[in-house]
């Protein structure tokens, strides 16, 4: 009689990281963030948030690597109001969870133009170039 015993090892997510192809984020754009989680069995589910609010991402898919690694992608719309917000990815399975935060630094498009007119009459005080101090005309 032959008895075969299968041992099924289960593990919570061991590592989680967020990657982006973009290194600088500009307001009014969308960016894809990729969350990678390794060491988990069974396959983890992914939870995404931006500023504490739930955002949608793709279901995790297995990535061919030496370790069992899974990835999820979230496409995030960015506005200038998102500056200093945090994008968070959490990989969760029945045995545990591992999360990682990504601090956003949103740059202004700075395409805004400001036009002003300044007329200086003899005897008036005009702003100088040093910290807005007033100086009399020569």
Q: Vertex 61, ends 54 and 33: CA angle to 5°?
A: 45
Beta strands in 13-68 (DSSP E): 15-20, 25-26, 29-38, 45-50, 53-55, 61-63
Is 99 among the domain residues?
Answer: yes
For residue 51, the domain's CATH number is 2.60.40.10
Q: Which one is predicted more confidently, 126 or 4?
A: 4
Q: Which one is predicted more confidently, 132 or 9?
A: 9
> Three-state SS for 53?
strand
Is 114 among the domain residues?
Answer: no
For the chain, how many structural domains are there in total?
1
Q: Domain of 79? A: 15-107
Is the per-residue pLDDT at 121 higher than 80? no
Is 95 among the domain residues?
Answer: yes
Q: Which one is predicted more confidently, 67 or 45?
A: 45
Is 6 among the domain residues?
Answer: no
Q: pLDDT value at position 119?
A: 55
Q: pLDDT value at position 24?
A: 84
Where do runs of H (alpha helix) occur along the chain?
Answer: none
Q: pLDDT value at position 93?
A: 92
Is 135 among the domain residues?
Answer: no
Instruction: Give the pLDDT band of residue 33 (cuts 50, 70, 90).
Output: very high
Is 35 among the domain residues?
Answer: yes
- Any long-range contacts for 18-24 (C-beta under 8 Å, 24+ apart)? 18/87, 18/89, 18/100, 18/101, 18/102, 20/102, 24/105, 24/107
Q: What is the pTM of this model?
A: 0.69
Is 122 among the domain residues?
Answer: no
Is 73 among the domain residues?
Answer: yes
Average of per-residue pLDDT values in the chain: 79
């Amino acid at each position: 009689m032959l008895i075969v015993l299968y041992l099924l090892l289960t593990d919570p997510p061991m590592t989680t990281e967020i990657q982006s192809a973009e290194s600088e984020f500009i307001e009014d754009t969308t960016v894809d963030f990729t969350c990678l989680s390794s060491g988990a069995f069974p396959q983890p589910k992914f939870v995404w948030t931006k500023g504490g609010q739930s955002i949608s991402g793709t279901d995790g898919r297995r990535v061919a690597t030496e370790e069992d690694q899974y990835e999820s992608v979230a496409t995030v719309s960015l506005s200038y109001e998102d500056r200093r917000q945090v994008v968070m990815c959490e990989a969760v399975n029945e045995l545990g969870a591992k999360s990682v935060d990504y601090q956003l630094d949103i740059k202004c498009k700075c395409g805004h133009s400001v036009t002003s007119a300044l007329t200086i009459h003899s005897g008036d005080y005009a702003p100088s170039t040093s910290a807005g101090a007033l100086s009399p005309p020569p």
